[in-house]
Amino acid sequence: MSLAESILGNPELIGQVAQHFGLGRNEARAGVEALLPGLARGLERNAARPGGLESLLGALRSGGHDRYLDEPHTLGEPSTRADGNAILGHVFGSKDVSRNVAGRAARASGLDGSVLKQMLPIVAAMAMGALSKQQGAGGTVADARSAGGGSAMDALTSFLDADRDGSVLDDVLNLAQKFL
């Protein structure tokens, strides 16, 4: 299951995002869909840097991020926003990059950019939750490293890019078409 499927396929998550930001479900889904490609690319780039994959694996092991998918009501808590902002700091390294991701998502979705800037840390937390659950459910990221059957980077890319064409954007767009 891809990152987009893990998040967008969970109606409780989308409902919580909608409720928290005062959006309709379709608007919340559009916002999450528009933010995921930039976030997924950032995760992939960050993991590809020297030490980046180890840092990501460490965060997945110790961060308790799976709670965001197991307990969607936690998405509205201030601690979730704080955790999401910390994730964004590691993934993007700069608030300017986060602003650019939100700006592109606003153009793609038609939603207000200020709402998407506020939504981005929540989506980052959900993305780490999805990666954490994937690691725990089959350990695709960690197991790939220990099994020697491919690199952990290959496993992460596979999770982010379901059709393995080198782009996560089309995966999110294809999934969006299924829901619309």
User: Model confidence over 32-51: pLDDT tens digits?
Assistant: 999 998 988 888 888 777 87
- pLDDT score for 62: 78
Full-model pTM: 0.77
Check pLDDT > 50 for residue 138: no
**pLDDT score recorded for residue 163:** 57
Cα(167)–Cα(43) distance, integer angstroms: 13
- Summarised one tens digit per residue, pLDDT across range 80-113 is 999 999 999 988 988 899 999 999 999 999 999 9
pLDDT value of residue 13: 93
Q: From CA 134, how far away is CA 47, in angstroms rounded? A: 16
Look at residue 176 and tell me whether its pLDDT is greater than 60.
Answer: no
User: How far is Cα 61 from Cα 115, in angstroms, rounded to an integer?
Assistant: 30
Residue 63: strand, helix, or coil: coil
* % of the chain residues with pLDDT over 90: 42
Q: Which of 54, 56, 52, 28 is nearest to 122 (CA)?
A: 28
Check residue 94 and give its pLDDT.
87
Segment of 14-18, 89-93, 161-165 carrying the highest mean pLDDT:
14-18
Taking CA atoms, 46 is separated from 39, 96, 123, 139, in Å, by 10, 16, 17, 19
